[in-house]
Amino acid sequence: MTYIHDTIVKLQKTSPAQAEFYQAVEEVLDSLQPILETNEKYKHHAIIERMVEPERQIMFRVPWVDDQGKVQVNKGYRIEFNSALGPYKGGLRFHPSVNAGIIKFLGFEQIFKNALTGLPIGGGKGGANFDPKGKSDGEIMRFCQSFINELYRHIGPTTDVPAGDIGVGAREIGYMFGQYKRLTGNYDGVFTGKSLLWGGSLVRKEATGYGCVYFAQYMLADKGDSLAGKQCLVSGAGNVAIYTIEKLYELGARPVTCSDSSGTLYHEAGIDLATLKELKEVRKARLSEYLVAHPDARFIPVTDYPADGHAVWRIPAQLAFPCATQNELTEADARALVANGVIAVSEGANMPSTQEAVEVFLDARICYGPGKAANAGGVATSQLEMAQNASMQRWSFEEVDEKLKVIMKNIYLSASTTAAEFGEPHNLVLGANIAGFRKVADAMIEQGVV
């Protein structure tokens, strides 16, 4: 514990005011105690000290002109965290909350997530404190072009391959790729999450949500159970949540909630997927408008949330899928879920549960799939997009989906067998962290002090 404590204290001095990053590091290091105690080589090679420091941190201003002709300035980031297993891979997030600490936490998580996929990709993350909401297409295009005017120097198909994240979809990827191509003269697979018209992969849009559900399916199957007939809680209303809901229906479950920044939607009969897609993918509208088509549903505004958590987690159900954002699920929420009979939690977002909430799930011995394992389907399918680009092929939806299923099954088996190896078969947090760490750490040792 002294080693872990000293590492966190040092980070707090060298990387001040980055609370989410400290949280992510502490969660991983706590899990690594068993392997660090029995393997002196990791201390000898200073693997932890090297792993918690990014190989490269890029921060830059992003000036752009709005529709009124006024110059705006945002801050851009790319954290190239670890390339021991392959080129840096991780999304770009455009959201007002983005800062260095958020990007570093996401990049650190990405190292282990990408390692768990078994694919040749390292860990990175990036973004900007730009809010796409309320912006015109022209404003978004000008911002994306300015962003790439700096970032293009640091990315490439065998160097660093960004993707989408919150606030960055196929439209934003298109504008960034177009500017990259203009600046470099290269038509290559430097981004994933591209349009199907020019190099994108089928299933990429659905992959994180689908993978999150597949992971839950494998957790339940190990207990002799299934998704069929289960009532499910889903948070969020973006790609991850929408396609989590879609796959839950395909596998016989009944998702009854989703949420956005304005509140939580609860539809006991089951969320109408067509209405949700129309609202969020086409009209970009608030969830409260769902009630126009379905007056039997209930909308709970943020102002009516409990003081100690989120309304979505206070509704009785058997399964929970946090698919919105980091630290959305509190200790009080976790206790409510367990009290209401939840038997499995599979995380579609990055670190959506606070550390205290995770402890509640582990103590209750329910099936708990941490984000770095359960939501790895997105980055896995991004790598499949890279493979298709490199070979100039296009695989069918069914072919990509089948590969995704196999990858998610292998991630589950890797985490569960490692957890059992260290005497805690129910603890997939420990299993996922150690399994990912060993791959990266051993590669770092073999590649020397770099």
- In tens, the pLDDT along 352-399 reads 999 999 999 999 999 999 999 999 999 999 999 999 999 999 999 999
- 107 and 231 both lie in a single domain: no
Residue 37 has pLDDT above 90, yes or no: no
pLDDT, mean over the chain: 97
Number of folded domains in the chain?
2
**Structural domain boundaries enclosing 83:** 2-187
- 172 and 263 both lie in a single domain: no
| pLDDT band (50, 70, 90) for residue 1 | low
pTM above 0.85, yes or no: yes
Of 187, 222, 240, at which residue does a domain stop?
Answer: 187
- 39 and 159 both lie in a single domain: yes
- 150 and 264 both lie in a single domain: no
Q: Which residues are catalytic?
A: 125
CATH number for the domain spanning 231: value is 3.40.50.720
Residue 122 has pLDDT above 70, yes or no: yes
- Please state the rounded mean pLDDT for residues 101-114: 97
- In tens, the pLDDT along 258-268 reads 999 999 999 99
What is the structure's pLDDT at 279? 97
- In tens, the pLDDT along 11-36 reads 999 999 999 999 999 999 999 999 99
Q: What percent of the chain has pLDDT over 90?
A: 97
- Please state the rounded mean pLDDT for residues 407-426: 97
CATH number for the domain spanning 135: value is 3.40.50.10860
Per-residue tokens: 32 = 């690594």
- In tens, the pLDDT along 419-436 reads 999 999 999 999 999 999
Q: Does the residue 395 lie in any domain?
A: no
Contact of 346 with 212, CB cutoff 8 Å: yes
- In tens, the pLDDT along 59-73 reads 999 999 999 999 999
